């Protein structure tokens, strides 16, 4: 009965979108190869994303479009730069990027053949307007380092900085340019851009329809129409079984079911899961909130926890094999330090605990001075994967004598709870700022934002990275913040966070649809998959 109800919902949504004009395409509960061939439009694709991918505030960069879970290559708006497949910087609107020796002025020369979809030419004035507007109004991205953007001439813009910020090109890669003449309060609903696609229709809660921009300055998209449906996991799978989607996200729980006419695409990611370990002793702050944890304040305990975990076993048990071990928040990135990697070594973990005075009792659980070795792992309510990771982590740690429990928490309390207990987090972005935001202290407290930790040397390396005059040179400072041979945030150092797995992003792909190679997906199972939808193509069997 549940499946039939889901199918009614799916069919109604797809019919409302006007996707299947041919008779019989919407009525099947099982997809046949012949039906799929007859329904296929070789100039278009139907993509299913989770409801969380729909931008609540519309397609406006000021409210997060193009960043976070909406990160993408230029679709509706163009960006100055892009991230290449190896996560280094490439150009979109930019033709040339230079930075002054003191890092205080970035000069960007832009192309002169970009036009907004209303026919107006994109100039440096639009770039300056966009950045100055975002500096004061962005609700997602941080532009506090920007003093002012100035149009030096029609096609040259200067960014005057308050402080050096070497990774500015990564900010430029997620900042869509909006037109000064056509920007207003309803821009997110009716965006005017210069990217590869035009937003033709948005039915909130249901679908988005994109059509190729005929005046795009780059190579014309091969896929002319992209229909994006927003559905929960069970409805997405039902749409695939009914042959009503060309590509649809899915979860590991569906990965072994293999609907007829589809194959499973697994995309490598930096969408990692890990947990914090408060690194200072417990105390109460002025608001009465507990800060720190007496058990995890000992670095030997934190190292033991990290060494005790078998990440490969975790990937098999929780992710059905669809993932990779995580050792940092920046695995596989140009600024990743391979010193972060460890192998499961429970013998060494037990030795460290014993050295720290935690002795196993008759029940196998360790105690010290009458205190039990105990950790309660929190996970966000409603996230089954993080719940399963919490349970698996708890199970593995009991093997070295640490008693454990798991508890679901809402985000209204989770941030506060994580100041004293481990919480299963999800991170992963195409910028070194992810490392900074997690480990760098904040002036108000002298501790890191998400979990109590402080190391002046780590702060200094990250400050040096941002102040570097050369982006490539800055990567080495980010690496040293992780481990410089004597200290850092890795296993040999302070280990205030333990990283578990990078979760593969899974999609059902209709036979005949060739999805272009994907670069590493960031956190969020959404828009990244359509980064290069313009390069997808339909392949006939005899080709």
pLDDT at 56: 87
Q: How far apart are the first and last CA of the chain?
A: 42
Domains, the chain, ranges and CATH? Answer: 1-54+204-269+504-543 (3.40.190.10), 72-184 (3.90.76.10), 272-502 (3.10.105.10)
pLDDT at 306: 98
Question: Is the whole-model pTM more than 0.95?
Answer: no
pLDDT at 526: 83
pLDDT at 185: 92
Residue 187 has, within 13 A of its CA and on its CB side, a CA count of 20
> SS3 for 438?
helix
pLDDT band at 140 (very low <50, low <70, confident <90, very high): confident
pLDDT cut 70: percent of the chain above it: 91
Q: Cα–Cα distance between 441 and 451 in angstroms, integer?
A: 10
- Look at residue 265 and tell me whether its pLDDT is greater than 90: yes
**pLDDT tens for residues 398-443?**
999 999 999 999 999 999 999 999 999 999 999 999 999 999 999 9
User: At how many degrees (to 10) do helices 384-398 and 299-308 cross?
Assistant: 110
Our measurement of the distance from residue 506's CA atom to the centroid of its chain's CA atoms, rounded to an integer in Å, reads 14
> SS3 for 402?
coil
Q: Cα–Cα distance between 473 and 458 in angstroms, integer?
A: 17
Nearest of 92, 59, 14, 43 to residue 212 by alpha carbon: 43
**pLDDT tens for residues 463-492?**
999 999 889 999 999 999 999 999 999 999
pLDDT at 367: 98
CA distances from 118 to 78, 131, 178, 213, 386 (A): 14, 21, 12, 11, 45
CA distances from 416 to 56, 78, 283, 405 (A): 26, 38, 13, 18
pLDDT band at 21 (very low <50, low <70, confident <90, very high): very low
pLDDT at 71: 64
Q: What is the mean pLDDT of the chain?
A: 91
- Look at residue 38 and tell me whether its pLDDT is greater than 50: no
pLDDT at 26: 39
- Look at residue 35 and tell me whether its pLDDT is greater than 80: no
């Amino acid at each position: 009965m549940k499946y039939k109800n889901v199918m009614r919902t799916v069919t109604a949504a797809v019919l409302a979108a006007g996707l299947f004009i041919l008779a019989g395409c919407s009525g099947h509960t099982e997809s046949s190869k012949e039906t799929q061939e007859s329904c296929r439009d070789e100039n278009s694709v139907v993509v299913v994303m989770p409801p969380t991918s729909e931008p609540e505030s519309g397609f406006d960069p000021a409210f997060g479009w193009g960043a976070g879970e909406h990160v993408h290559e230029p679709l509706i708006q163009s960006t100055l730069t892009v991230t290449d497949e190896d996560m280094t910087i490439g150009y979109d609107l930019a033709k040339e990027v230079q930075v002054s020796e003191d890092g205080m002025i970035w000069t960007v020369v832009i192309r002169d053949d970009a036009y907004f979809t209303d026919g107006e030419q994109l100039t440096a004035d639009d770039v300056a307007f966009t950045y100055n507007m975002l500096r004061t109004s962005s609700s997602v991205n941080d532009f506090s380092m920007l003093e002012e953007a100035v149009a030096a001439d029609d096609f040259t813009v200067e960014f005057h900085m308050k402080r050096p910020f070497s990774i500015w090109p990564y900010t430029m890669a997620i900042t869509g340019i909006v037109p000064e003449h056509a920007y207003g309060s309803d821009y997110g609903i009716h965006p005017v851009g210069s990217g590869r696609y035009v937003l033709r229709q948005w039915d909130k809660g249901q679908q988005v329809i994109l059509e190729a921009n005929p005046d795009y300055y780059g190579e014309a998209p091969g896929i002319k129409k992209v229909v994006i449906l927003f559905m929960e996991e069970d409805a997405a799978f039902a749409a695939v079984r009914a042959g009503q989607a060309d590509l649809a996200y899915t979860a590991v729980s569906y990965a072994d079911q293999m609907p007829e006419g589809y194959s499973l695409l697994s995309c490598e990611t930096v969408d990692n899961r890990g947990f914090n370990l408060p690194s200072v002793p417990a105390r109460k702050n002025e608001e009465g909130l507990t800060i720190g944890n007496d058990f995890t304040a000992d670095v030997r305990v934190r190292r033991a926890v990290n060494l005790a975990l078998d990440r490969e076993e975790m990937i098999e048990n929780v992710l059905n094999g669809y993932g990779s071990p995580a050792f940092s928040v920046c695995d596989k990135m140009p600024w990743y330090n391979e010193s972060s990697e460890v192998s499961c070594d429970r013998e060494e973990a037990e030795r460290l605990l014993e050295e720290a005075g935690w002795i196993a009792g008759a029940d196998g659980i360790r105690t010290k001075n009458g205190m039990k070795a105990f950790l309660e792992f929190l996970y966000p309510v409603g996230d089954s994967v993080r719940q399963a990771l919490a349970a698996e982590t708890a199970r593995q740690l009991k093997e070295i004598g640490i008693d454990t429990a798991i508890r679901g928490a809402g985000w209204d309390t989770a941030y506060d709870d994580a100041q004293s207990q481990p919480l299963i987090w999800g991170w992963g972005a195409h910028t070194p700022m992810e490392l900074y935001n997690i480990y760098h202290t904040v002036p108000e407290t002298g501790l890191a934002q998400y979990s109590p930790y402080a190391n002046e040397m780590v702060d200094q390396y990250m400050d040096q990275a941002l102040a570097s005059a050369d982006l490539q040179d800055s990567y080495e400072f980010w690496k040293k913040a992780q481990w410089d041979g004597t200290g850092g945030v890795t296993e040999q150092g302070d280990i205030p966070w333990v990283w578990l797995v990078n979760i593969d992003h899974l999609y059902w792909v209709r036979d005949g649809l060739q999805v272009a190679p994907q670069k590493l997906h960031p956190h969020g199972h959404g828009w990244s998959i359509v980064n290069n939808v313009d390069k997808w193509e339909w392949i006939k069997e005899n080709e």
